[in-house]
Amino acid sequence: MEHFDEILPVTEVKRDLLNLLKRMEEEGMAIAITRQGRSAGVMLPMSRYESLLETIEILSDQETLESLRQSRKDFAEGRVLEHEEVW
């Protein structure tokens, strides 16, 4: 559970839910919730949740992935344009 800002037991989450929600919104933090010492769930701010869904959508679109691969290859090989050239 290394991608979390905090790991809290469910009893603490229940007791301090409103404060945790406020901190999540302000700090963008992710919280892992444990029950009896085991991972039980995750709390994320809506912005991070929506970002995850968007990432999953992009990664499941083979055409988009191929376009990204080609862009990385072009950049690595120096096939880029300066800002002024584009506009």
Share of the chain above pLDDT 70, in %: 98
The predicted model gives 28-36 an average pLDDT of 95
Residue 55 forms part of a structural domain:
yes
- Which among 62, 40, 58, 61 is positioned nearest to 50, based on CA atoms? 58
Residue 66 carries which side chain, given as an amino acid letter?
Answer: E
Same domain, 37 and 52: no
- Same domain (yes/no): 11, 38: yes
Asked whether residue 85 is assigned to any structural domain, the reply reads no
Taking the C-alpha atoms of residue 46 and residue 51, their distance in angstroms, rounded to an integer, is: 9
* Residue 86 within any structural domain of the chain: no
Model confidence band, residue 1 (pLDDT cutoffs 50, 70, 90): low
How many structural domains is the chain composed of?
Answer: 2
Phi then psi dihedrals of residue 45, to 5 deg: -65, 150
For 38, the token pair is 């085991």
Query: Is 44's pLDDT higher than 80?
Result: yes
Same domain, 19 and 35: yes
Give the range of the structural domain holding residue 34, as residue numbers without chain letter.
6-44
- Domain co-membership, 27 together with 39: yes
Query: pTM for the complete prediction?
Result: 0.69
